[in-house]
């Protein structure tokens, strides 16, 4: 099963001189102040290429913070204008796609809870018809390579050629130190089936605990993944979502500094 994706090389839509692309920012946009300050601090590290923030949060159970919604898109645009960083948000519905694009978001990603559902992915793909925007597709929650591939194909068939995958680990019944098992073999299989497809890694959602991030980030680089998405917050201890896995911008800079890049990256 070879994947026949019609995609543009990563350098043609995001040239980072061969170095891994770093996507960072808070798990969730919480307040305008929190987002702007985090964006400023992340930018000041000089190591971040793309600012992320969750605007619509897919929570496993109801009753928790489900994202600030469209108001956050206005803050994100302010953060972009202030820092000059392109922005990325998760979209889970066709309406999210329309709202994010209308608000000037530069890059969209599909979350693990959406990749798992072909109807959802197809709705998002339909909303992307005729749009020229980079889309990053996270692996599904469960360790099913076909679902991941199917989502990439649906988005690609909608005409999205600036396409990449994000490896964020998989749910497992095994007891583990990780929130989501990396199951590196699935990412390696995807790389083998579609060598032209860029794969980024999301150590934050694999680890679920900030102490574990450096090792997973290094492993991803050693496997030749082309980017890292790492959640950063101005004060992770009070984050409204994913508090245990977010890092301060200073810690983020240290993690990036301590990575040993592959020969061709340095
Ligand atoms: C996120 O990036 O904040 C997120 C919800 O990720 P995932 O879809 O990987 O769980
Ligand atoms: Mn998160």
Tokens linked to 138: 């996270």
Cα–Cα distances in angstroms (integers) from residue 100 to residues 13, 21, 95, 187, 248, in the given order: 19, 22, 8, 28, 26
For the chain, domain boundaries: 20-57+66-260
Alpha-helical segments (H) within the chain: 10-13, 32-44, 70-83, 94-102, 112-115, 118-128, 145-157, 184-193, 203-207, 213-222, 249-257
Residue 4 Cα to ligand 2 midpoint, Å, equals: 31
pLDDT, position 22 = 98
ipTM: 0.98
Per-residue pLDDT of the chain (266 residues; tens, 9 = 90+): 678 899 999 999 999 999 999 999 999 999 999 999 999 999 999 999 999 999 999 888 899 999 999 999 999 999 999 999 999 999 999 999 999 999 999 999 999 999 999 999 999 999 999 999 999 999 999 999 999 999 999 999 999 999 999 999 999 998 899 999 999 999 999 999 999 999 999 999 999 999 999 999 999 999 999 999 999 999 999 999 999 999 999 999 999 999 999 865 54
CATH fold group of domain 20-57+66-260: TIM Barrel (3.20.20)
Terminus-to-terminus CA distance in the chain, angstroms?
A: 34
- Pocket lining for ligand 1, CB < 6 angstroms: 27, 54, 58, 90, 111-113, 138, 168, 202, 205
Q: Which is nearest to 122 in space by CA: 71, 158, 68?
A: 158
Tokens linked to 5: 């994706």
Residue 28 Cα to ligand 2 midpoint, Å, equals: 7
Residue 205 Cα to ligand 1 midpoint, Å, equals: 7
Q: Rounded to an integer, what distance in angstroms lies between the CA atom of residue 225 and that of residue 68?
A: 31
Pocket-testing residue among 112, 135, 182, 206, ligand 1, by greatest number of atoms within 8 A of Cβ: 112
Write the residue with the smallest CA distance to atom 2 of ligand 1: 27
Task: Look at the pTM and tell me if it is higher than 0.90.
Answer: yes
């Amino acid at each position: 099963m070879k994947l026949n994706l019609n995609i543009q090389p990563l350098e043609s839509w995001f040239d980072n001189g061969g170095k891994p692309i770093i996507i960072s920012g808070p798990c969730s946009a919480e307040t305008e102040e929190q987002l702007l300050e985090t964006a400023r601090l992340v930018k000041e590290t000089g190591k971040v290429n793309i600012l992320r923030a969750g605007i619509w949060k897919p929570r496993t159970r109801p009753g928790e913070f489900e994202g600030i919604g469209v108001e956050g898109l206005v803050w994100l645009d302010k953060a972009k204008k202030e820092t000059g960083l392109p922005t990325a948000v998760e979209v889970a519905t066709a309406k999210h796609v329309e709202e994010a694009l209308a608000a000037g978001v530069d890059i969209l990603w599909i979350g693990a809870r959406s990749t798992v559902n072909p109807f959802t992915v197809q709705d998002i793909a339909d909303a992307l018809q005729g749009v020229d925007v980079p889309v990053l597709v996270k692996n599904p929650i469960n360790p099913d390579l076909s679902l991941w591939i199917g989502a990439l194909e649906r988005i690609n068939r909608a005409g999205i050629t600036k396409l990449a995958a994000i490896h964020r680990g998989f749910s497992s019944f095994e007891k583990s130190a990780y929130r989501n098992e990396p199951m590196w073999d699935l990412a390696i299989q995807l790389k083998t089936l579609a060598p032209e497809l860029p794969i980024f890694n999301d150590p934050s959602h694999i680890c679920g605990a900030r102490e574990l991030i450096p090792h997973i980030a290094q492993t991803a680089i050693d496997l030749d993944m082309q980017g890292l998405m790492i959640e950063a917050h101005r004060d992770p201890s009070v984050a409204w979502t994913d508090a245990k896995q977010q890092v301060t911008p200073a810690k983020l800079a240290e993690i990036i500094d301590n990575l040993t890049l592959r020969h061709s990256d340095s």
